[in-house]
Structure 1
């Protein structure tokens, strides 16, 4: 392995799909220096690139927008936040129009009206053009460079990320004034049954969702921080085991998949099946924390992937047990009815000890 490579940037984007590409473009257009790191080749990796993707493209007309939101209410269990729905509709409409004009995407044409139909995209062509656009505006792309952990200071404030460049066989550390997480979920290991998708910015240590353009204050380069000794890696499981790294990543993945993939456990959800599955994942996590690691860069990547699927599975099952009803896409075989008293969100977090709490639905 070659010597550690270190650099800095105004905005660091982690991911290589549509969310990452749009975030990088908006940050660059706001005047920031932007670096994007992707686990694969930006433009071909992720779920969108090989797929056909529907788009929530609705003209900014009041009745059309109201009807569009109403069509999603039941599917979401009447938990939708209309503020965020409005932002998604606005930004999607703007972005698809920009994709047609600036990205020159070849949307099909309605033979009756001659107007383009912008309600869907073909993933390969879409992401090919997004990569070209990202490069055209001056974003630095680091392909085959998975981020393995965030970098934080002694106060816990996020200051960048560290990872491994597979083709160059070297570790990297990037200091950043802001970090955008757009790295997707764990569907590639969990057969799409455990795939929460993440898109957030971390600025000054606080995390928030991203829908609209990334806004960068003037003079954002003053927020860039040198990589001093007080900056440390926040990752632990899969990187820094408390004991000797004797546990193989493939063993962890196989054990996690045994609890996450079977339909009897994860689709036909029942408390009598969820609880033992969660207990098994908790035990697996404890063992992984103590024994999972890797000597080479590729070993560490596999170890972090194994840690991720285990962590996500625990969060998912703990949240499922906390909702003792059936609502929207959340189904419980032992609680088949919707409970009006549970019209709230369930938040979850934690690593060694997973927690859940409720949050009111925005009015």
Structure 2
């Protein structure tokens, strides 16, 4: 199958990492430490792109002991039977080793009053710029503004990728012994801070290569945001009084119901307001120092959020702070497609969070752990190929958005398709609260949209990435709704208004495969022989 455009550059490497966030840089570092050639290709500028670079993030720093045991039990309780103790412990152990490695490399962790480092929170900009320098020093070649468009295959084994050089509009073929997909999840361009580059690209590339997905139904994660801002950090709202237009308190039964109360009020046509008036003077100082990006939008428009109320909204965080992603088949994060590995939000986190959000500590620890494991696994796989990597004859695997099967659509079809899929997945009464009949109707519309994309969508030059993003978001939405229909219950982030109770007989994973006609099976994700 020919490329949709002429290839302007070709590079050969042992391991190719697609992505530029925390999981990607940990994968690149692990592969480089294994002594192989490594190329990292990022959609943006590695070190500044992605959700972590735009904010602070908490992370599990839990050496063996009571704190770790307690956190494992809390997570298992929230996971509704879908997480696995061994994987939780493995991730916590690997995250602690990663933080030790950061400290040993000179990362400037803050120092507490007793002189000990505080490693439970990472300031995103500092963390990512530090990791960029580390992988460059380790010999990794970084290709900024080179989003992956499609994977390559040689005799059924993933053999690299074709990337788009956004600045030149030319295609870059990167042959590789193994590929790590660390391209993040999908928020459907919801404007959640740092997430508009997360459009499900890695899911589409992976499934085209034969990988599977799991837990895509656990995607109804929305973050609280000021109406005038894209910041969705939730911590400050633990100090908030929430009210409706007339000043009456928003009815909230528990912390768990806070998001549901906001969503219900907004669906009913209300505007919800917040004021962070429950924070003491000392806590206000602490919040501003710890979460400075949360307060910059208020300062810009002259609002004191501690004394003045402001309107809020809910922005979809989809599978970035949700759960679903590429199914991992082995301990070293290999997918079901030979030669393909996955890490971070591009991979399913069902084994560590079950049906609940992985936002914050679990996801940050997962990025360190899965990045390290996938990079090491990819390096071992590449080495097993010997000297044949550079000479393998590889074929591209991408279809929708790249190679239309019929006549080409108008230039604005990418924008129209993107808006159409957003309308099917982002509204609160579709994505937050779900109804089987509405989802089935939505899926029919998305299937028709997919046919149009497959038959007609492509683009020229830099606009090719927008066509591929539209295809990836549409495919992701179809997988989410297909998975949702196969889980007729309310469990974690899958809130079904037509099935409001949890059904214990459905305590199993929903696994998806294939692009054009998604196939579903229920399965047990446990990998035999995983040791804590």
TM-score (norm 2): 0.64
Q: Does 1:4 align with 2:8?
A: yes
Aligned counterpart, 1:327: 491
Aligned counterpart, 1:151: 152
Q: Name the SS of the counterpart of 2:173 in structure 1.
A: strand
CA distance in 2, matches of 1:178, 1:332: 39
Q: Does 1:305 align with 2:469?
A: yes
Aligned counterpart, 1:174: 174
Aligned counterpart, 1:19: 23
CA distance in 2, matches of 1:185, 1:96: 24
Q: Does 1:354 align with 2:518?
A: yes
Aligned counterpart, 1:189: 189
Alignment deviations for residues 32-79 of structure 1 (CA, whole Å, 9 cap, x no partner): 110000011000111111011110111122x33221111112332221
| Residues 194, 316 of structure 1: 8 Å contact kept | no
Aligned counterpart, 2:47: 43
**Any residues of structure 2 matched to 1:54-69 within 5 Å, and which?**
54-61=58-65, 63-69=66-72
CA distance in 2, matches of 1:57, 1:316: 32
Alignment deviations for residues 164-186 of structure 1 (CA, whole Å, 9 cap, x no partner): 11123321111111111101122
CA distance in 2, matches of 1:157, 1:338: 40
- The correspondence for 2:449, drawn from 284, 309, 322, is 284
CA RMSD in angstroms comes to: 2.2
How far off its partner does 1:192 sit?
2.2
CA distance in 2, matches of 1:124, 1:286: 41
Change (3 A) 1:123 1:224: farther
Aligned counterpart, 1:106: 108
How far off its partner does 1:207 sit?
4.2
Aligned counterpart, 1:85: 88
CA distance in 1, matches of 2:505, 2:336: 36
| Residues 246, 292 of structure 1: 8 Å contact kept | yes
CA distance in 2, matches of 1:350, 1:13: 23
Aligned counterpart, 1:231: 394
Q: Name the SS of the counterpart of 2:87 in structure 1.
A: helix
Change (3 A) 1:223 1:343: farther
| Residues 243, 290 of structure 1: 8 Å contact kept | yes
How many residue pairs get aligned? The number is 357
Aligned counterpart, 1:122: 123
Q: Name the SS of the counterpart of 2:434 in structure 1.
A: coil
Change (3 A) 1:223 1:45: farther
Q: Does 1:243 align with 2:406?
A: yes
Aligned counterpart, 2:290: none
Q: Which runs of 4+ in 1 moved over 6 A?
A: none
| Residues 158, 204 of structure 1: 8 Å contact kept | yes
CA distance in 2, matches of 1:26, 1:272: 46
Change (3 A) 1:302 1:224: farther
| Residues 9, 224 of structure 1: 8 Å contact kept | no
Q: Which runs of 5+ in 1 are unaligned?
A: none
Identify the structure with bigger relative contact order (alpha carbons < 8 Å, sequence gap 6+): 2
